[in-house]
Chains A and B, each alone.
Chain A
Amino acid sequence: MIFCYYLDKHQPPKLHDDRNVFDKPKVIMAVSHNENIEAALKSQIVPDQEFLLQGSVMDNSLGVLIDRLRGLCDNSDVHPETFHDHEVVYILKDFNAPATPGPASQGVMLRVRRAVDRPDLPYQLRYVGYPELGNYPALLRNCLDVPVSSNVREFLQELGAKLDHEFMAKGYIMKKGRIKVTVFKMYKMGPGMTKENLEPMTMSHLVELSVLTTKTDMSVADDLRALADQLKPLVQLERIDYRRV
């Protein structure tokens, strides 16, 4: 399979222009349907924008939230699908450059996700951009997901990316129309980095409502807001810029 994905050039993590290797963070593999994708990008019909609302629910109220979500989301007759993912985050940048303030020195974060409970599924390589400025009803950011083969970690290391951190996520996934709803708990990887030796981050589950859309279709954010309002006051879902936390 051949992929050609460009990381969004409008996003902040710009690297220094004089370093060719890192200049345009042109991910990852060979080029084939180049023209088609460029044309699609130009007419802004690529669903590479993500609206996101985040909140958390304490563990003792998880059951209530799941019940309510089951009522609100599609397929309420079956139990919500569970997932157990392992995410490893790599940073791609020039590690020898002097540290300068601003996003330029932070490099690009590339996230490799794999389903621990479903080894047959492909790995996911994921890039999320910085939140867009502007008065949107939900947090808007660039987002790319690519299914990749299992040797992606070696490949990233060969590119010069460094492992930054990793964690486990365990929880539920549901959908309502185009909206993706995930409720999951984050675990730190304990000493020895074994899958069993997990330490929960907090006593809460993170709740995320997200929807992929194009730059031209912003109306779906209102649906997201409506769903978030229906979960109040059980969960306060808001647009949270993690850089300001």
Chain B
Amino acid sequence: MQREERALDTALEAIMQRVVDIKGSLQELLGKIEQEGERSDWPSYLNAYSVISAQIYTLMKVLKNEKTPVLRNYLTLPLQLSADTDDKLLAATEGRVPSFSHDFVPNLLRTKPEPDVEARHLALEAKMAQVNQDTAQKQINIHNKVVKHVMEMVNTAREEWETETSSRQTHAQTCSLNETQILVAALGTGKGIRPTQQPPQQPQARPQPVAQQATPAQRKAVSSVKTNIKAASGMHPYGR
């Protein structure tokens, strides 16, 4: 018997400690919101939230621990209500509950949800009971299918995005040092654009012979192409 009480005491102490931690973090966050508001940056808020969620997680772990006695097996009864101010209670609740009176006790010791929440819960349960088992199963299946499909879409999109970014990193050949050097040399010294070493005084005479030579060559090329086409078009009908 004594052992059980001791276990209860230690468990309650541990739970209290965790709750105090959470309360401290919440107060910190509230103070932060009040004092800094929008001036503080998003990551610092996220940090505060992650601290609180970790604390809640450890609290739940304590509650689910094997050594923690099952708390619902213990009853808490209001033996006496009093409207008089109770200094000890005031100190224990940090000034929030001045007296153990009719105002506070029903709220503090309630074991059921609020009436309207309870009503909505019941309505939902009734609706659930109305639905046929088969149709319910069907709806669940359809829902799963849709969710799966959406998951697939998200996954493929992510894969595409990742391959695109990785490929962009690997062969991002947008410039070539070699070509840069060719161009800079050409611009600076004329390397590669300078006509072959010509004897001076003939910059005007030179182009003309080139042009004259070019025209017969062009004519030849054109005529050969023409005969080719003729031969080909002559062959095709017989080939088929």
A residues whose Cβ falls under 8 Å from a Cβ of B: 54-58, 61, 64-65, 89, 95, 162-167, 186, 188-189, 191-193, 201-204, 206, 233-236, 240, 242-243, 245
Which of B174, B175, B190, B207 contacts A192 (CB under 8 A)?
Answer: B207
Additional A-B contacts beyond A193-B207, A202-B183 (11; CB < 8 A): A54-B183, A58-B175, A58-B179, A166-B193, A188-B193, A202-B179, A202-B182, A206-B180, A235-B175, A242-B184, A242-B188
Within 8 A of A (CB), among B50-77: none
CB-nearest residue of chain A relative to B198?
A163
CB-nearest residue of chain A relative to B208?
A192
B residues whose Cβ falls under 8 Å from a Cβ of A: 172-177, 179-190, 192-195, 200, 203, 207, 210-211, 214
Query: 30 interchain pairs (CB within 8 A)?
Result: A54-B180, A54-B184, A56-B183, A57-B174, A58-B173, A58-B174, A58-B176, A61-B175, A89-B190, A162-B200, A163-B203, A165-B193, A167-B190, A186-B193, A188-B192, A191-B214, A192-B207, A192-B210, A192-B211, A192-B214, A201-B186, A203-B179, A204-B175, A204-B179, A236-B177, A240-B180, A242-B184, A243-B188, A245-B184, A245-B188
CB-nearest residue of chain B relative to A236?
B175
Q: In the assembly, what is the distance between CA of A2 and CA of B182, in Å?
A: 38
Cβ of B187 and Cβ of A186 under 8 Å apart?
A: yes
Cβ of A234 and Cβ of B175 under 8 Å apart?
A: yes
Contacts of B200 in A (CB 8 A): 95, 162
Q: In the assembly, what is the distance between CA of A191 and CA of B207, in Å?
A: 7
CB-nearest residue of chain B relative to A202?
B179
Q: In the assembly, what is the distance between CA of A167 and CA of B179, in Å?
A: 17
Q: In the assembly, what is the distance between CA of A202 and CA of B174, in Å?
A: 14
Cβ of A167 and Cβ of B186 under 8 Å apart?
A: yes
| Interchain Cβ contacts within 8 Å, total number | 92
CB-nearest residue of chain B relative to A199?
B193
Contacts of B180 in A (CB 8 A): 54-56, 204, 206, 236, 240
Cβ of B174 and Cβ of A191 under 8 Å apart?
A: no
Q: In the assembly, what is the distance between CA of A164 and CA of B197, in Å?
A: 10
Contacts of A206 in B (CB 8 A): 180, 183-184, 187
Contacts of B188 in A (CB 8 A): 242-243, 245
Contacts of B179 in A (CB 8 A): 56, 58, 202-204
Q: In the assembly, what is the distance between CA of A95 and CA of B201, in Å?
A: 12
Q: How far is the CB of B195 from chain A (nearest CB, A)?
A: 7
Q: In the assembly, what is the distance between CA of A192 and CA of B212, in Å?
A: 10
Cβ of A201 and Cβ of B172 under 8 Å apart?
A: no
Q: How far is the CB of B94 from chain A (nearest CB, A)?
A: 56
Interface centre among B175, B182, B186, B190 (most CB of A within 10 A): B175
What are the 10 tightest A-B residue pairs by CB atom distance, in nearest-first order? A242-B188, A165-B190, A61-B174, A165-B194, A56-B180, A204-B179, A206-B183, A245-B185, A202-B179, A245-B181
Q: In the assembly, what is the distance between CA of A57 and CA of B172, in Å?
A: 12
Cβ of A243 and Cβ of B189 under 8 Å apart?
A: yes
Interface centre among B173, B182, B187, B211 (most CB of A within 10 A): B187
Cβ of A242 and Cβ of B174 under 8 Å apart?
A: no
Cβ of B193 and Cβ of A242 under 8 Å apart?
A: no
Q: In the assembly, what is the distance between CA of A17 and CA of B18, in Å?
A: 94
